[in-house]
Amino acid sequence: MKRTLSYYLQLSFTLLICAFMLVPVLMSMTAGLTNNYFQGLSSGLTLRWVEEVMALYSDTLWLTLKLALATLLVNLIAGVPAAYFLACSTSRWARVFEELILLPVAIPGLAIALALIIVYGGVQDLRTSWLFILIGHVLYTLPFMVRAVLAVLHSIDLKLLEEGAASLGAGFLRRFFDVIIPNCKGGIISGALMTLTLSVAEFNLTWMLHTPMTKTLPVGLADSYASMRLEISSAYTLIFLVLLLPLMIGTQWVGANTQKKQLSPSKPRHASLGKNDEH
Amino acid sequence: MNINEHGASIRFENCQKTFADGTLALHSLDLSVHAGETLVLLGPSGCGKTTMLRLIAGLEFPDKGGRILFKDEDVTRQPIEKRNVGMVFQSYALFPNMTVAENVGYGLKVQKLKADVIKHQVAEMLDMMELGALAPRKIDQLSGGQRQRVALARAIITSPRVLLLDEPLSALDAILRDRLRAYINTLLRQLGITTIYVTHDQEEAMALGDRIVVMDHGRVSQIGTPREIYFSPQNDFVADFIGQINTFEGPVSNRRMTLPGGILHCAHLGDGHGKLYYRPKDIEITARAGSEFGGVVHQTQFIGDRNRIWLKGVNHDLVIVDSDGRSDFFIGQEVGLRLRPEQMIRLDRQGGAAA
């Protein structure tokens, strides 16, 4: 195939944009592994800075992981059943509620944090605990979990599947775990990855809610950018990326996979025709 | 009729169903279904047949005062999972997250039977339904007819007291539908289980039902055997809904009805305004000359085993006649008609057999 001039122009433009976004990231990553950034790579590569970061900030790393997993746990326990009940309900209030839980996405994290501090800030034990940040993270990430599961629940004939299971003698809990959960697995997984990604990277809210004893990785990062030498903050950034990138790639991968599944014809469409009989 | 202890008799007492939006889906109804009987609920969409099925299933509950009994047990307030019914849904409701074998075995798993017992029974059932080779497949790898058989197998494996089928064949194409209809027929006779079958297809209803309940606008129009329903419909609606029928309507005097096409004899009608009903295949075409009743061919269709002919000038509407496929007619041809009184369909409001 003969390639035209416009093909090469487009290719170089794309590469230029990629470089524009990737070069700073790569620079920063190498900075974290270089002995002395101002002398350049010729000063030699080292893991010294990474070790130093681990010594200084490892507690922020563990707290971040703990927070992300706890947020995920709460979202699974609260978000999946919430999505189920929203999908089942035909009431107008369910639709209103569906929109309401999206609000934290639209409101700046700083404002949510401020509201939390005004309401609960007086409770000393809570204010100084990591659980305070957990509340913020759940508020912020729950909508993503609920929406992801809801999207799948809306795409399957939930009521019919439940009636099918009930006709075979399955009570509510059995139906929920045997039929509902497995059939919205895709939504739960993508919601879970979204939750982890958002929680790990969350800064606005967390910065407002944290105390010196409850610092997460992004908050620590800001701290190091302000007060540490460039190599250390770069090494810190490197650790952050190592944590975050797999989550983001996973989210993309699951998203692409579920889309493919939905595009392939998995049930005969005509089967649901004529179903409007008496409903 | 095949009576079997597996099936329970069903009794409806004063059952009425009003939906939340105030629609009266089913008018107050008393009805008995014998144990082992196949009862077909037949009617156009919106007639209340599906509502009635869902009441029996326990997916809907009757208005206050209504009772539903299986044998002698009052199940009115029991939800579906407590009633021990088997149900086949119009769009199958198979579980996409399970294989064919897992789908079929699910009811047994819920009953907490041992894994090897389930495995054995599922294998037996799949063999009987000729599904053995498909056991490890996922539902989305099956054709429509295969899904239907899996749904049936899943519903009967638990030996339910009542089998409920909600338009199980309507999603299939015509050839497959005929084949599965015969299959279901054999299966139901074999099992001898009390079966409620919902359909809007009158052929299906007649082929499968021991008795048919014809429904219209939330009311029962007629209950009877297929023959009673076909040959002695109790009202216009049933006569019209079960098969094609020609309605001759006009003034009667002196036991003769005067129509555009001539004079029709009707010994049983008094003077005034009367109606006569004839099925297309019961009208005989004769030569125009010498007959006192006839019309002009408006259109013909050769369907192989018969000619279907539409005639004008006989009645106020076109008259449909089925005649032997070997004779040939052309549009505009003048024909005579012979209508034998013994082949007349009488609307027998008393419900007794008359033909």
- Dump pLDDT digits (tens) for B221-234: 999 999 999 988 88
A174 touches chain B (CB under 8 A): yes
pLDDT at B354 over 80: no
B254 shares a domain with B109? no
pLDDT at A130 over 70: yes
| Cα–Cα distance measured from residue A52 to residue B308, given in angstroms and rounded to the nearest whole number | 94
A263 touches chain B (CB under 8 A): no
Q: How confident is the model at residue B31 (pLDDT cuts 50, 70, 90)?
A: very high
Q: What is the DSSP letter of A203?
A: -
CATH number at residue B139: 3.40.50.300
| Residue B153 counted as domain residue | yes
Per-residue confidence (pLDDT) for residue A1, from 0 to 100: 64
A169 with B140: Cβ contact below 8 A: no
Q: How confident is the model at residue B325 (pLDDT cuts 50, 70, 90)?
A: confident
| Residue B232 counted as domain residue | yes
| Cα–Cα distance measured from residue B150 to residue B144, given in angstroms and rounded to the nearest whole number | 10
- Dump pLDDT digits (tens) for A35-68: 888 887 788 888 888 888 888 888 898 999 999 9
Per-residue confidence (pLDDT) for residue A267, from 0 to 100: 42
CATH number at residue B272: 2.40.50.140
Q: The tokens 């105390």 sit on which residue?
A: A211
The CA–CA distances, whole Å, from B21 to B17, B18, B24 equal 11, 8, 9
A274 with B170: Cβ contact below 8 A: yes
Domain enclosing residue A253, as ranges: 54-213+244-261
Q: How confident is the model at residue B348 (pLDDT cuts 50, 70, 90)?
A: low
- Dump pLDDT digits (tens) for B259-294: 888 888 887 777 888 888 898 988 988 888 888 888
Number of domains in chain A: 1
| Residue B2 counted as domain residue | no
CATH number at residue A129: 1.10.3720.10
Percent of chain A with pLDDT over 70: 92
Name every residue whose Cβ is closer than 8 Å to that of residue A94 and which is 6 or more positions away in sequence: A85, A86
- Dump pLDDT digits (tens) for B45-70: 889 999 999 999 999 999 998 999 99
Q: How confident is the model at residue A261 (pLDDT cuts 50, 70, 90)?
A: low
B178 shares a domain with B32? yes
Q: Kindly identify which residue of chain A lies nearest to residue B102, measuring between CA atoms.
A: A178
A124 touches chain B (CB under 8 A): no
Q: How far apart are the first and last CA of chain B?
A: 23
Give how far A75 is from chain B: nearest CA, Å.
23
| Residue B38 counted as domain residue | yes
Q: Which of A63-67, A87-91, B159-163 has the lowest mean pLDDT?
A: A87-91
Q: Which residues pair with A34 in a beta bridge?
A: A45
Per-residue confidence (pLDDT) for residue B6, from 0 to 100: 62
Domain end point (choices B189, B206, B240): B240
| Residue A11 counted as domain residue | no
User: Does A233 or A277 have the greater pLDDT score?
Assistant: A233
Q: How far apart are the first and last CA of chain A?
A: 57
| Residue B350 counted as domain residue | no
pLDDT at A195 over 90: yes
B321 shares a domain with B182? no
Per-residue confidence (pLDDT) for residue A263, from 0 to 100: 53
| Residue B354 counted as domain residue | no
Per-residue confidence (pLDDT) for residue B306, from 0 to 100: 85
Comparing CB atoms, the residue among B91, B95, B107 nearest residue A272 is B91
The strands making up B246-253's β-sheet, listed across from edge to edge, are B262-265, B256-259, B246-253, B272-278
B322 shares a domain with B206? no
Percent of chain A with pLDDT over 90: 42
- Dump pLDDT digits (tens) for A103-121: 887 888 889 899 999 999 8
B265 shares a domain with B226? no
Per-residue confidence (pLDDT) for residue B349, from 0 to 100: 52
| Residue A151 counted as domain residue | yes
pLDDT at B321 over 50: yes
B255 shares a domain with B226? no
Q: What integer best gives the mean pLDDT of chain B?
A: 88
Comparing CB atoms, the residue among A170, A273, A277 nearest residue B110 is A170
Q: Which of A77-81, B47-51, B327-331 has the lowest mean pLDDT?
A: B327-331
Please report the sign of the dihedral spanned by the C-alpha atoms of residue B39, residue B45, residue B46, residue B47.
Answer: negative
B120 shares a domain with B28? yes
| Residue B348 counted as domain residue | no
Range A29-33 average pLDDT: 85
Query: Which value does ipTM take for this structure?
Result: 0.80
pLDDT at A255 over 90: no
Domain end point (choices B240, B272, B295): B240
| Residue A166 counted as domain residue | yes
B228 shares a domain with B85? yes
Domain enclosing residue B328, as ranges: 244-343
Give how far B98 is from chain A: nearest CA, Å.
9
pLDDT at B170 over 90: no
B165 shares a domain with B50? yes
Of B79, B101, B115, residue with least CA distance to B157? B101
| Residue A21 counted as domain residue | no
B87 shares a domain with B177? yes
B255 shares a domain with B184? no
CB B37 within 8 Å of CB B1: yes
A274 with B80: Cβ contact below 8 A: no
| Residue B40 counted as domain residue | yes
B207 shares a domain with B172? yes
Per-residue confidence (pLDDT) for residue A276, from 0 to 100: 37
Number of domains in chain B: 2
Q: What integer best gives the mean pLDDT of chain A?
A: 85
Query: Strand, coil or helix: what is B86?
Result: strand
Q: Which of B4-18, B107-121, B191-205, B217-231 has the lowest mean pLDDT?
A: B4-18
- Helix or strand run (H / E) with residue B292: none
User: Does A275 or B280 have the greater pLDDT score?
Assistant: B280
